[in-house]
Structure 1
Amino acid sequence: MTTDPSLQLQPETGLSGVPFTKGHGTGNDFILIADPDGLLEIGAHQAAAACDRHRGLGADGLIRAVRSTLVPEGRALLQTNPDAEWFMDYRNADGSISEMCGNGVRVFVQFLISNRLMALDNGGTAVIATRAGIKVVERTTSGYSVDMGPWEFIHPEDANGKGMDSLVEADGLEVPRPALSISMGNPHTVVALAELAELRATRLADAPQVQPQPAHGTNVEFVVPHDPLVHDGVGHVTMRVHERGVGETQSCGTGACAAAAATRFWAGTGAPADWVVRVPGGEVGVRFHAGPDGREHVHLSGPAVLVAGGTFL
């Protein structure tokens, strides 16, 4: 008797025998896999299956740790950043490739340290290669601080003139809301809401509709400035986010940076350099400072937690 191959049980992820670690940064969770010699082929299907919250491990994304010399984007960055030994190969929960993730890069460094692929004392820095360029990560007593690089407007011609460049529709909001699009190496569209009740009522199971939408899609942040906005010289906002290729997440590091950048721009002259961004998974710190390239950079700080490890069956 023969068996129809289509009826045979197949491994869900295609990663049988591969060790993994599960980690998160303020609830933004990831599957991390060490592949220092570049031996694994992890494509969109494998990543999506592993991140599935019912049939896989469940995560907002999958991160592969591979030496930069083995990835074209990594090799290019090594030309000017020879210390960037490790490349953060990041895929969203739907398997799509993403430029990088601010929460993910902190967890990535904690993973490298835990797996003895890197040694880093408190106060030390790690140079990490990503598809959004080089990220310098400092280990602190409470987690990690990351120089996320410069921020910029996606549509500067509109942003500088009107402070808004698009309209966003979302389930739970009665009318489209004006928004501002910010690039942190990946695209974000920030919407200001008036009250926390309005933020809670916004339903983010489905992707908000953005017009015009950035060329490669966008993450959408809904932000409520606190009243007062500034306390003891620090700005405070509360945020929820729908991540491109994922859905609503407990936190988004680059999104927190974009939310602070947009709110700071709207606040005008005298707005502080330091911000606290509250997200469903906790809170992160955002700081604006002059970068070595003469542009304004953004620092993101927060925790990185590894919670479990195992092997795909």
Structure 2
Amino acid sequence: MPGTVTFTKGHGTGNDFVIVADPNGALSLTDDQVAALCDRRFGIGADGILRVVRAAAIDEGASAAAAGAEWFMDYRNADGSKAEMCGNGIRVFAHYLAESGLAEVDTAGIPIGTRAGVKHVARVPNGFEADLGAWTVDEDAPTVRARGLSVARPGLGVDVGNPHVVVALPGEDELEALELTYKPVLDPEPEAGANVEFVVPAEPLVQEGVGVIRMRVFERGVGETLSCGTGVAAAALAVRHWAGAGAPDIWRVDVPGGTLGVRMVSRGDEMHVLLSGPAVLVFSGDVALA
């Protein structure tokens, strides 16, 4: 275990990450070390860590390597827990690969391994776009209690490689009143937990053929974040589901950290959801590991 590691700080619409390059899988970060690096007062500060490792160099990447993905995104939440996927993180990950010369990421894109399978990421005019794959909707989802809401609200379960519960709110006032320094209570609580999105539709919902919504999110293992890429996709899918037949397949989602695009496309016999938006690398440095 080295005494120091080189890192880069990056973000996607304010959802921020510590990026650590470990191509050969030599680095093993403990949960406590991840939490210390992500600490906003005593560490670098981030919502999570992206370890850049070759798929063939990590046991969890074996299937990704067999599928032709050279790189695996080992994503850890700010508390050190492992996560299946991160929609903002994978765009930042792809940007780091391109900027560091580890891979070429163009409009044709590249495959990247994750714990939720191999995802394809391509360069697009507004940054990078990640194909998150197929999704599932579960109407038998938990009810959600949150500080600032007078009563529990029904949720819609949406899985886009990681679990989400989406709650519809009638207006901006309730969205603003939420106190998400407190973890929302899910009843029943899913065994693996879930990210919770609170969403308000624009008026009108569809503008020039594009669905428009606003969202806030509480991420498991992190807390409220300025943005959550998979949460953005889940929120758009939930509102599309509620809107029913005739709902658009292109969405604009406004989050506290900016704006992201979501679209649903046919891939053979499946429908896939794609997430697009900016990815920014802020600074690099070296940090001591405790």
TM bucket (normalised to shorter chain) is over 0.9
Residue of 86, 89, 96 corresponding to 2:81: 96
Report how far residue 213 of structure 1 moved. 2.5
After superposition, what is the alpha-carbon deviation per residue over 1:57-109, rounded to whole angstroms, capped at 9, x for unaligned?
00000010000001122112222x12x00000000001100011000000001
Give 5+ residue unaligned stretches, structure 1: 1-13
For 1:51, the equivalent position in structure 2 comes to 38
Rg (Cα) greater in structure: 1
Report how far residue 43 of structure 1 moved. 1.9
TM-score by structure 1 length?
0.90
The answer to whether structure 1 residue 26 and structure 2 residue 26 are counterparts is no
The answer to whether structure 1 residue 108 and structure 2 residue 93 are counterparts is yes
After superposition, what is the alpha-carbon deviation per residue over 1:83-137, rounded to whole angstroms, capped at 9, x for unaligned?
x00000000001100011000000001111121111233x130110000101100
SS class of match (1:110): helix
Residue of 123, 129, 144 corresponding to 2:128: 144
After superposition, what is the alpha-carbon deviation per residue over 1:18-73, rounded to whole angstroms, capped at 9, x for unaligned?
10000000000000000001111112111111000011000000010000001122
Distance (Å, rounded) in 2 between the aligned partners of 1:262 and 1:72: 34
- Asked if 1 retains the 8 angstrom alpha-carbon contact of 2:201 and 2:213, the reply is yes
- Asked if 2 retains the 8 angstrom alpha-carbon contact of 1:15 and 1:312, the reply is no
After superposition, what is the alpha-carbon deviation per residue over 1:138-192, rounded to whole angstroms, capped at 9, x for unaligned?
1123200110001102x3xxx2xxxx63210000101001110110110000000
Which amino acid is the alignment partner of residue 176 of structure 1? A
SS class of match (1:181): strand
SS class of match (1:199): helix
The answer to whether structure 1 residue 274 and structure 2 residue 258 are counterparts is no
Distance (Å, rounded) in 2 between the aligned partners of 1:150 and 1:267: 19
Distance (Å, rounded) in 2 between the aligned partners of 1:58 and 1:120: 27
The answer to whether structure 1 residue 219 and structure 2 residue 191 are counterparts is no
TM-score by structure 2 length?
0.97
> Identity across aligned pairs (percent)?
53
SS class of match (1:312): strand
Q: Describe how 1:169-208 pairs up with structure 2 within 5 A.
A: 169-208=145-184
SS class of match (1:150): coil
Distance (Å, rounded) in 1 between the aligned partners of 2:54 and 2:125: 27
Distance (Å, rounded) in 1 between the aligned partners of 2:236 and 2:260: 11
Give 5+ residue unaligned stretches, structure 2: none
Report how far residue 16 of structure 1 moved. 3.4
Which amino acid is the alignment partner of residue 38 of structure 2? C
For 1:66, the equivalent position in structure 2 comes to 53
SS class of match (1:128): strand
The answer to whether structure 1 residue 309 and structure 2 residue 252 are counterparts is no
Distance (Å, rounded) in 1 between the aligned partners of 2:32 and 2:265: 40
- Asked if 2 retains the 8 angstrom alpha-carbon contact of 1:187 and 1:214, the reply is no
Report how far residue 296 of structure 1 moved. 1.4
Alpha-carbon RMSD across the aligned residues, in angstroms, is 1.2
Q: Figure out how many residues of one structure are paired with residues of the other and give that number.
A: 288
Distance (Å, rounded) in 1 between the aligned partners of 2:249 and 2:224: 27
- Asked if 1 retains the 8 angstrom alpha-carbon contact of 2:22 and 2:53, the reply is yes
For 1:132, the equivalent position in structure 2 comes to 116
- Asked if 2 retains the 8 angstrom alpha-carbon contact of 1:68 and 1:75, the reply is yes
SS class of match (1:18): strand
